[in-house]
Chains A and B, each alone.
Chain A
Amino acid sequence: MNTPLHSRASDQDFSACDRAALLHELAGILPGTALLADPEDLKPYECDGLTAYRQMPFAVTLPENETQVVAVLKACHRHGVPVVARGAGTGLSGGATPVDGGVILSLARLKHILRIDPLARTAVVQPGVRNLAISEAAAPLGLYYAPDPSSQIACTIGGNVAENSGGVHCLKYGLTVHNILKLRVALIDGTVVEVGSDALDAPGYDLLAVLIGSEGMLAVVLEATVKLTPKPQIAKVVMASFDDMTRAGNAVADIIAAGIIPAGLEMMDKPATAAVEDFVHAGYDLEAEAILLAESDGTPEEVEEEIAAMKAVLEQAGARELRVSQSEAERLKFWAGRKAAFPAVGRITPDYLCMDGTIPRKHLAHVLIRIGELAQQYGLRCANVFHAGDGNLHPLIMFDANVPGEVERATEFGARILELSVDVGGTITGEHGVGIEKVGQMCVQFSPEELAAFHALKAAFDPQGLLNPGKAVPTPRRCSEYRLTGSARETK
Chain B
Amino acid sequence: MARTRTPVVAGWFTDDVQAEDGSGERGFRLLGTRCTACGSVFFPREDAYCRNPHCAGDELVEVPLSPRGTVWSYTDGRYRPPAPYVSDPAVPWEPYTLVAVELAAERMVVLGQAAPGVTVADLAVGMTVEVVPGVLDEDAGGVRTTWHFRPVPEASGPQARTARESS
State whether these chains interact: no
Residues of B within 8 A of A (CB): none
Residues of A within 8 A of B (CB): none
